[in-house]
């Protein structure tokens, strides 16, 4: 079936995490006769320090149309501000060269704010995934809402988030709740067996095991180190627990976290191991077999419940997200973390996990997203009117 003109969907990815969530959306765009996938890679994907993960994208069989270098030699506030400036300039040139019909992005990182800003001034339609969410402990919160206001099509992961995007003034006809696309990985990826996982990560999981991911709490400078130290102090006291660490993103103080993890792992050979990037297959396989996901990553909130795996969510970074009953929230101090882990390993909690329902949907999300990308009329789409909530201004 041939088409004179295929709709060009330009997907932007800046980190291993959001690439994993976009994977099946990209596959379906690629497989569609009437769509053309344009892939732009930026941020951590291009940094050797973070594993040069663009190579994984190529190994997965995707063609990278353009790379936008954003200097990541510094994770200080001024360094990240400079990176954003470089990103805006780079994306401006890339969009001019590719001439996409829609720019698609997922999430809330600063690389995407640069990508969205350049698309906005180029009058390009933006489709945004995972809008409307609240994460009160990070400046990602403001970035996410800013991208929502720059975007023209919205794909949220729960009905609560859909209502919040509409509350921000977006027209209901442009806001779709299909669930979280990352759950498609759980549905379609053939996960590793426990034995295969242990072989590829180089560590047996033992009788009890934890998957730990700790990211910077960007709105609380200095607290990142304190919270992680408290967690490591608690892990130090646990008997017979194997710990698999995945390292932090390229955010402010990300390097501090990674240095602390490396130092801890070096002091605890045999029962700990750390990876810069596990990739979706190993990460989700680990999530399936460990006793709990620990830290402050969104994956513990969004993906872990689909495996009936418990999560210890520490601190405020994910505060405000819709969560399943499998999430144990605690403060970033030794006593609170100890109590949370004690609950996680307790028989009563483990039995309750069998009945957990994930509020972020049941998968097959990518098919629904691509259906809208294919069919939604782009005529005058960049001309938005603010959608007032009926009755909001009455009697004001």
| 390 belongs to a structural domain | no
In 130-240, DSSP assigns E strands to 153-156, 175-177, 208-213
Q: Which domain holds residue 310?
A: 192-355
Are 169 and 270 in a shared domain?
no
Residues 146 and 44 in one domain: yes
Query: How confident is the prediction along the chain (396 residues), in pLDDT tens digits per residue?
Result: 444 689 999 999 998 888 989 999 999 999 999 999 999 999 888 887 777 888 999 999 999 999 999 866 677 888 889 999 999 999 999 999 999 999 999 988 899 999 999 999 999 999 999 999 987 666 788 999 999 999 999 999 999 999 999 999 999 999 999 999 999 999 998 999 999 999 999 999 989 999 999 987 766 766 778 899 999 999 999 988 999 999 886 666 778 889 999 999 999 998 999 998 888 899 999 999 999 999 999 899 999 999 999 999 999 888 888 999 999 999 999 999 999 999 999 999 999 999 999 999 887 899 999 999 999 999 999 999 999 987 655 544
Q: Are residues 172 and 198 in the same domain?
A: no
Q: Same domain, yes or no, for 132 and 232?
A: no
Q: Are residues 110 and 212 located together in one domain of the fold?
A: no
- Nearest to 183, CA basis, from 319, 298, 39, 317: 298
pTM of the model: 0.83
Nearest to 126 by CA among 98, 108, 106: 106
Domain count, the chain: 2
Inter-residue contact 132 to 108 (CB < 8 Å): no
Verify that 41 and 158 share a domain, yes or no: yes
Count of CA atoms in the C-beta half-sphere (13 A) of 380 = 3
Same domain, 69 and 216: no
User: In this structure, are 371 and 316 located in the same domain?
Assistant: no
Contact 168, 134 (CB under 8 A): no
């Amino acid at each position: 079936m041939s088409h004179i003109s295929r709709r060009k969907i330009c997907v932007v990815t800046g980190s291993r995490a959001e690439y994993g969530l976009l994977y099946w959306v990209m596959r379906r765009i690629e497989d569609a006769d009437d769509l053309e996938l344009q892939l732009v890679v930026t941020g951590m994907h291009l940094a050797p320090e973070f594993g040069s993960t663009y190579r994984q994208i190529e190994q997965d069989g995707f063609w990278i149309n353009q790379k936008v270098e954003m200097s990541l030699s510094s994770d200080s506030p001024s360094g990240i501000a400079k990176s954003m400036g470089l990103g805006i300039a780079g994306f401006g040139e890339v969009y001019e060269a590719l001439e996409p019909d829609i720019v698609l992005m997922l999430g809330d990182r600063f690389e995407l704010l640069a990508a969205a800003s350049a698309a906005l001034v180029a009058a390009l339609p933006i489709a945004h995934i995972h809008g409307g969410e609240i994460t009160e402990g990070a400046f990602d919160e403001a970035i996410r809402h800013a991208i929502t206001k720059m975007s023209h099509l919205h794909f949220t992961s729960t009905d609560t988030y859909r209502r919040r995007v509409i509350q921000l003034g977006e027209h209901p006809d442009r806001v779709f709740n299909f669930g979280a696309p990352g759950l498609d990985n759980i549905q379609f990826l053939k996960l590793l067996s426990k034995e295969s996982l242990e072989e590829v990560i180089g560590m047996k999981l033992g009788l009890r095991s934890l998957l730990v991911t700790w990211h910077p709490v960007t709105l609380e400078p200095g607290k990142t180190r304190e919270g992680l130290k408290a967690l490591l102090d608690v892990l130090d006291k646990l008997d017979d627990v194997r710990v698999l660490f995945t390292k932090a993103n390229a955010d402010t103080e990300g390097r501090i976290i990674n240095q602390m993890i490396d130092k801890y792992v070096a002091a605890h050979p045999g029962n700990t191991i750390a990876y810069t990037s596990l990739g979706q297959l190993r990460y989700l396989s680990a999530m399936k077999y460990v006793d709990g996901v620990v830290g402050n990553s969104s994956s513990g909130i969004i993906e872990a419940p689909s495996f009936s795996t418990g999560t210890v969510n520490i601190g405020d970074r994910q505060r405000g997200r819709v969560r399943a009953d499998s999430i144990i929230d605690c403060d970033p101090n030794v006593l609170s973390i100890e109590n949370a882990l004690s609950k996680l390993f307790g028989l009563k909690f483990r039995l309750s996990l069998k009945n957990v329902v994930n509020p972020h949907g049941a998968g097959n999300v990518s098919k629904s997203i691509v259906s809208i990308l294919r069919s939604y009329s782009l005529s005058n789409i960049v001309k938005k009117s603010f959608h007032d909530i009926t009755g909001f201004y009455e009697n004001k």
